[in-house]
Structure 1
């Protein structure tokens, strides 16, 4: 098939699965937005250069497979609407970036964006609280850095960043508590060095965690007070201290270290990780002393 009539799709109101893979489609009809019950859409193996903005109206969509096309971009606001999406596969395209709205897909569990031309990733990845698998391998020389927030993906189990141009991994990778598989080969890594990488996952996590601790010690007081908030929130930072007055016997030794915030002062992240509240995860709001979700440090 080279095209699909608009009128045909507009009458398929009860369709919940649509498989159009391995055709010669260059565009999808705008009427695809009428498929409000659609849960599974496979348009892989076509010649699509873009997805129609109306795809955002398919709010029941759970899986979207657009692999092996010629996509150069995704709709800018796709993440604001497709909040039920659990799997997004856009590998083997020509994408140069992923929209920042992607970080609002709080139900997303699998993101496959390998074999593209990605030059960067969205900054607010920590909002993807259910993401378990992230594959951004084989973007080659285009992808040279990873955002700090990649280490705040609290559910991440598999991370593949192989065959890119990455030289330095963010220290926050040492905070990935659930990670079981980490693929780093094919990168000109300087930090961590090769001798650490070849020792395996635990060695890499330990190296990055120690580096983060060292970096924290050199951080000015003002930045310590609020910049460490995320690490404390996710219970991943080494050396957490309880707040004064909560230890038995009134022993407060060790509580005088600068910039520590008690984990118990935070609401559980799962309780506010809904699309309606996802804006609360904005770093500016999280790190603001006026935030309603944590108390300022006690002295």
Structure 2
């Protein structure tokens, strides 16, 4: 009995000592088993740094898998139960951001992998990566897969639907916005710029269910119309629809009474609805490079309007009360229109606008370098959302 008690005490003492002692883990890589000894309080990144010196694989190009999971670089070995004798697998990739690579329907990612990996291992790795990605999306509420050659919104989006507040899938080849986009009830911001979205596959009914949406950015797609259901997005504060083939804005635009920014340049818009006057919070409107011949008189109701870009249109006149009532307007861009300086000088409220315009200009520019023209033509280099 005494020997048994002594043995148990020895084991307990050894266990206590090992709690803070270095541990040795075994990493399988390219047919080798690499032992690495380090503190249990070391992070995954510390382990990757050690492996870098042993394998010449950069830390950013390493994927470490333990029990089918990929853990964040900042977590400690102890916190994810990596202990003495634990076995991990390392994959070396050619892609720095492998966690964000697009996945196919069967769960296998398009991996660029160095070394020998079996098809079974590849599928297991892809699934682990997808699981890690979904956890990250759920935690951050942000899904960002820009420039990934996607042809459709991935299934991961719908799996994370209750958690997502922002989607950024710009610069892809996405053709369809499906009806189930309406399941993303918490979504605040949707960026789908530079895709292949077209009217036939664009579910405005689904989109109109997003009552919390504040930013909608659809620049550089293939849309020709905006549905009346756009007016149901009553929380919208920013709308970006530049570089499409849109021919008109719907009357329901006037229902967007929280809208502050409207950018719709480089389309084929020939008319603006009078209802735009109901968008009383608008402070920036860009309708440049369209085929407008006139603007509705209700523009004079936009008392918060500060910036108005109208260049490269067929305009000859402006709303008669624009300068009189839009007393915050300080930037007007009309280059490439038929509006003359003489016409502007005769407009009611022009002098007050001109003082604001010059004051804004002089705040950021040497007064001696001021423009010789009667108004600010605008800056074509502005950054589009």
Same fold (TM over 0.5): yes
Residue 137 of structure 1 deviates from its aligned partner by 0.7
Q: Partners of 2:247 and 2:351 in 1: how far apart?
A: 28
Q: Evaluate the alpha carbon distance shift between residue 124 and residue 208 of structure 1 in structure 2; reply closer, same or farther with a 3 A threshold.
A: farther
Contact 2:321 2:348 in 1 (8 A): no
> Given the alignment of the two structures, is residue 182 of structure 1 paired with residue 182 of structure 2, yes or no?
no
**Which structure 2 residues correspond to residues 215-294 of structure 1 after superposition, within 5 A?**
none
Q: Hey, what does 1:45 align to over in structure 2?
A: 194
After TM superposition, the score normalised by the length of structure 2 is 0.49
| RMSD (CA atoms) | 2.1
Q: Hey, what does 1:75 align to over in structure 2?
A: 227
Which one has the bigger strand percentage?
Answer: 2
Q: Hey, what does 1:96 align to over in structure 2?
A: 247
Deviations 1:174-196 (A, max 9, x none): 2211111111121012xxx3335
SS of 1:182's partner is: strand
Moved more, 8-17 or 51-60: 8-17
Q: Hey, what does 1:231 align to over in structure 2?
A: none
Q: Evaluate the alpha carbon distance shift between residue 63 and residue 164 of structure 1 in structure 2; reply closer, same or farther with a 3 A threshold.
A: same
Q: Hey, what does 2:312 align to over in structure 1?
A: 163
Deviations 1:249-290 (A, max 9, x none): xxxxxxxxxxxxxxxxxxxxxxxxxxxxxxxxxxxxxxxxxx
Deviations 1:195-252 (A, max 9, x none): 354x7xxx7553599xxxxxxxxxxxxxxxxxxxxxxxxxxxxxxxxxxxxxxxxxxx
> Given the alignment of the two structures, is residue 106 of structure 1 paired with residue 249 of structure 2, yes or no?
no
Contact 1:77 1:99 in 2 (8 A): no
SS of 2:285's partner is: strand
**Which structure 2 residues correspond to residues 115-134 of structure 1 after superposition, within 5 A?**
115-134=266-285
Q: Partners of 2:288 and 2:347 in 1: how far apart?
A: 18
**Which structure 2 residues correspond to residues 13-92 of structure 1 after superposition, within 5 A?**
13-50=162-199, 51-53=202-204, 54-79=206-231, 81-92=232-243
Contact 1:10 1:32 in 2 (8 A): no
Q: Evaluate the alpha carbon distance shift between residue 182 and residue 127 of structure 1 in structure 2; reply closer, same or farther with a 3 A threshold.
A: same
After TM superposition, the score normalised by the length of structure 1 is 0.63
SS of 1:9's partner is: helix
Q: Partners of 1:59 and 1:83 in 2: how far apart?
A: 7
> Given the alignment of the two structures, is residue 145 of structure 1 paired with residue 294 of structure 2, yes or no?
yes
Deviations 1:73-126 (A, max 9, x none): 1121211x2111110000000000111111110111000001000010011122
Any unmatched runs of 5+ in structure 2?
Answer: 1-149, 353-385
SS of 1:33's partner is: helix
SS of 1:125's partner is: helix
Q: Partners of 2:155 and 2:296 in 1: how far apart?
A: 40
Q: Partners of 2:255 and 2:159 in 1: how far apart?
A: 28
Residue 7 of structure 1 deviates from its aligned partner by 8.3
Contact 2:240 2:263 in 1 (8 A): yes
Deviations 1:44-82 (A, max 9, x none): 000111331210001100101100111111121211x21
Q: Evaluate the alpha carbon distance shift between residue 99 and residue 6 of structure 1 in structure 2; reply closer, same or farther with a 3 A threshold.
A: farther
Indicate the structure whose relative CO is greater, using CA pairs within 8 Å and at least 6 residues apart.
Answer: 1
Deviations 1:118-159 (A, max 9, x none): 0100111221111100010111xx211100101110111111
Q: Hey, what does 2:378 align to over in structure 1?
A: none
Q: Partners of 1:164 and 1:208 in 2: how far apart?
A: 24
Any unmatched runs of 5+ in structure 1?
Answer: 210-299
SS of 1:41's partner is: strand
Q: Partners of 1:188 and 1:38 in 2: how far apart?
A: 42
Q: Partners of 2:343 and 2:249 in 1: how far apart?
A: 31
State the aligned residue count.
199
Q: Hey, what does 1:262 align to over in structure 2?
A: none
Larger radius of gyration: 2
